[in-house]
Amino acid sequence: MRMYDLIMKKRNGGILTEEEIQFMVSGYTQGQIPDYQMSAMMMAVYFQGMTETETTALTMAMAHSGEMLDLKDIAGVKVDKHSTGGVGDKTSIALAPMAAACGVKIAKMSGRGLGHTGGTIDKLESFEGFTTGITAEHFKRQVNEIGISIMGQTLDIAPADKKLYALRDVTATVDNMSLIASSIMSKKLASGADAIVLDVKTGSGAFMKKEADAFALAREMVRIGNRAGRKTIAVVSDMDQPLGFAVGNALEVQEAIATLKGEGPEDFTQLCMTLGSYMLIAGGKAKEEEEARNMLQEVIANGSALRKLEAFIQAQGGNPAAVHQPALLPKAAMVEEITAPQTGFVEKIDCEEIGICSLLLGGGRETKESEIDLSVGLILHKKAGDYVEAGESLATIHANDRQKLMMAKERFLKAYHMTPQRVAKRPLIKGLVTE
């Protein structure tokens, strides 16, 4: 078997066999197939596409390219949640303790962020001492004991995906549906969960700008998961404006904590309830959505979800006192208001631009080597559809550098679009994909 022949086959619209895909993935991972040949294959896939069978085979080959995390030592159904990412997306920090408090086993692998704000791990490191650098044994023991653990992605999980993604990133082949789906799902399958709930974002702040594309990606990933024997459900949600009010690492942590106290923003709470309901159903703790929602509301009302967060933070070396004392979380030196230049309704918010504001402040990474400032970010006071008077605060900006603050402030004002007419509010949940 030769890589040259496989490139030609795909270039001409042929369908690769499982054996051919396995040969290609293992050869590239082991350094036997050069970058230039794999680049040619990725471009052929980009233009010719892949069938469902090819996409599943690619996913499984990438998942099996390294260590497959074995979670059989953890009792019960293990449920993982994955978001395609967005601005202000701190869902795991609130959702994981909520689901765990309802008895679902949360054994989750997360990564660091590259872009607007930090990833889940970066945000959790707002708790002094917190670490995800734990052994697989510690990880499993913790899930058995308290029902929740989040560990960092090891180098051994889906190494083929790491190599392929880096290549796609520099060859303009990132935005192909099959390649996106296989990249996400290979890591999820290798992480060992029995069931997977996906949050697929759509809108100006999402990777999938068009709703139809988001649903297509959701269907692709759900089919892959189900074909691999994992119960997989996808929720398609709006990311045409930031989720919740907080954008920035420690600020988002505070908002997640407020949500566990029943004081979170309406949209963020709704998303946690929706995703959480399907996690409970997938985990066998509830039969239908209403029952699941009632259970989630109960663990917030009785404080057990908040206590679960405390136990989780403490188990992984963090200071649990910060759950009740936000002053212990990183704080920026400068806090200023951004006021509205005119009266009217917020017509729309350029979500990606708000994310870039956080990045400019130091809240995200432009490169993998960038250091994140966990204390900076923004708290929005007005969302799409809200009425605002001239001079009223649109947002509070948290910064540690005057120049960065001014740059972010200027950019922020350009991201808000005002109109004199009343604006209808967009639904947060766009739909559900189960097959």
Query: Which sequence positions are flagged as catalytic?
Result: 82, 161, 168, 183, 187
Q: 151 in helix, strand or coil?
A: strand
> Does residue 380 contact residue 355 with C-beta atoms inside 8 Å?
no
**C-alpha closest to that of 355 among 248, 245, 269, 200:** 248
H-helix or E-strand containing 259? helix 249-260
Distances (CA, A) of 415 to 208, 244, 347, 394: 19, 17, 11, 11
Cα–Cα distance for residue pair 102/280, rounded to 1 Å = 8
Q: Where are the alpha helices (DSSP H) in 3-117?
A: 3-11, 18-29, 35-48, 52-63, 91-101
Cα–Cα distance for residue pair 219/217, rounded to 1 Å = 5
Cα–Cα distance for residue pair 241/347, rounded to 1 Å = 11
Pairing outcome for strands 429-433 and 231-238: antiparallel
**C-alpha closest to that of 309 among 260, 269, 348:** 260
- 418 contact partners, CB below 8 Å, separation of at least 6: 340, 342, 344, 345, 346, 347, 388
Q: 208 in helix, strand or coil?
A: strand
User: Please, what is the Cα angle at 188 between 270 and 174, to 5 degrees?
Assistant: 90
Total H helices, total E strands in the chain: 16, 13
What one-character-per-residue DSSP string does 355-394 give? HHHHHHHTSS-SSTTPPP-TT-EEEES--TT-EE-TTSEE
The residue type of 330 is P
- 134 contact partners, CB below 8 Å, separation of at least 6: 142, 149, 151, 316
Q: 197 in helix, strand or coil?
A: strand
Enter the tokens of residue 333.
């030196």
